[in-house]
Structure 1
Amino acid sequence: MRVVLFGATGMVGHGVLTALLEDATVEGVTAISRRPSGRRHPKLREVLRQDFTDYRDLDDVFATADATLFCLGTSSVGVSEPDYVRITQGYAVAAAEAARRTNPGGLFAYISANRADSTSRTMWIRVKGQAEAALQAVHPRVFLFRPGFIQPRRGARPATRLQRITYAILTPFFPLINRLFPAQVTTTDAIARAMLEVLHAPATVARQLDNPLINQTAARSQVTRNAV
Structure 2
Amino acid sequence: MKVILFGASGMVGQGVLRECLLDDGIAEILVVGRAPLAIASDKLRQIVLPDLSRLAEHAGALQDIDASFLCLGVSSAGLTEARYSELTYDLTLAIASTVAAASPDVTLTYVSGAGTDSSEHGSSMWARVKGRTENALLRLPVKAAFMFRPGVIQPLHGVVSKTRSYRLLYLFAGPLLPLLKRLFPRHITSTEQIGRAMIRLARQGGPRQVLEAADINAL
State whether TM-score is above 0.5.
Answer: yes
The one of 115, 136, 141 aligned to 1:134? 136
Structure 1: gaps spanning 5 or more residues: 218-228
- Residues of 2 paired with 1:30 and 1:139: CA distance? 21
The one of 162, 167, 180 aligned to 2:165? 162
Q: Report what 1:150 is aligned to.
A: 153
Contact 1:33-1:47 at 8 Å conserved across structures: yes
Question: Are 2:108 and 1:113 equivalent residues in the alignment?
Answer: no
What amino acid maps onto 2:68 in structure 1?
A: T
Q: Tell me by how many angstroms 1:64 deviates.
A: 2.2
- Residues of 1 paired with 2:166 and 2:191: CA distance? 15
- Residues of 1 paired with 2:66 and 2:189: CA distance? 26
Please report the RMSD computed on the Cα atoms of aligned residues, expressed in angstroms.
1.5
- Residues of 2 paired with 1:177 and 1:76: CA distance? 26
- Residues of 2 paired with 1:103 and 1:149: CA distance? 32
Tell me, what secondary structure is at the counterpart of 1:121? coil
Q: Tell me by how many angstroms 1:78 deviates.
A: 2.6
Question: Are 2:77 and 1:77 equivalent residues in the alignment?
Answer: yes
Contact 1:19-1:193 at 8 Å conserved across structures: yes
CA distance 1:149–1:40, change in 2 (3 Å): same
Contact 1:147-1:211 at 8 Å conserved across structures: yes
Question: Are 2:64 and 1:64 equivalent residues in the alignment?
Answer: yes
**CA deviation string 1:146-171 (max 9, x = no partner):** 11100100111111112111211211
More helix by proportion, 1 or 2? 1
- Residues of 1 paired with 2:15 and 2:76: CA distance? 21
Structure 1 runs (4+) deviating above 3 angstroms are none
CA distance 1:89–1:206, change in 2 (3 Å): same
Contact 2:15-2:156 at 8 Å conserved across structures: yes
Tell me, what secondary structure is at the counterpart of 2:26? coil
Question: Are 2:125 and 1:123 equivalent residues in the alignment?
Answer: yes
**CA deviation string 1:141-197 (max 9, x = no partner):** 211111110010011111111211121121132134324432111000010110011
- Residues of 2 paired with 1:6 and 1:115: CA distance? 22
- Residues of 1 paired with 2:141 and 2:99: CA distance? 8
Q: Report what 1:225 is aligned to.
A: none
- Residues of 2 paired with 1:116 and 1:177: CA distance? 22
- Residues of 1 paired with 2:80 and 2:172: CA distance? 26
Contact 2:34-2:52 at 8 Å conserved across structures: no
CA distance 1:2–1:127, change in 2 (3 Å): same
Q: How many residues align?
A: 216
Tell me, what secondary structure is at the counterpart of 2:52? coil
- Residues of 2 paired with 1:160 and 1:146: CA distance? 19
Q: Report what 1:90 is aligned to.
A: 90
What amino acid maps onto 1:129 in structure 2?
A: G
CA distance 1:106–1:178, change in 2 (3 Å): same
Percent identity of paired positions between Structure 1 and Structure 2? 35
Q: Report what 1:14 is aligned to.
A: 14
Tell me, what secondary structure is at the counterpart of 1:182? coil
Structure 2: gaps spanning 5 or more residues: none
Contact 1:93-1:138 at 8 Å conserved across structures: no
The one of 205, 208, 217 aligned to 2:210? 208
Q: Report what 1:224 is aligned to.
A: none
- Residues of 1 paired with 2:151 and 2:66: CA distance? 27
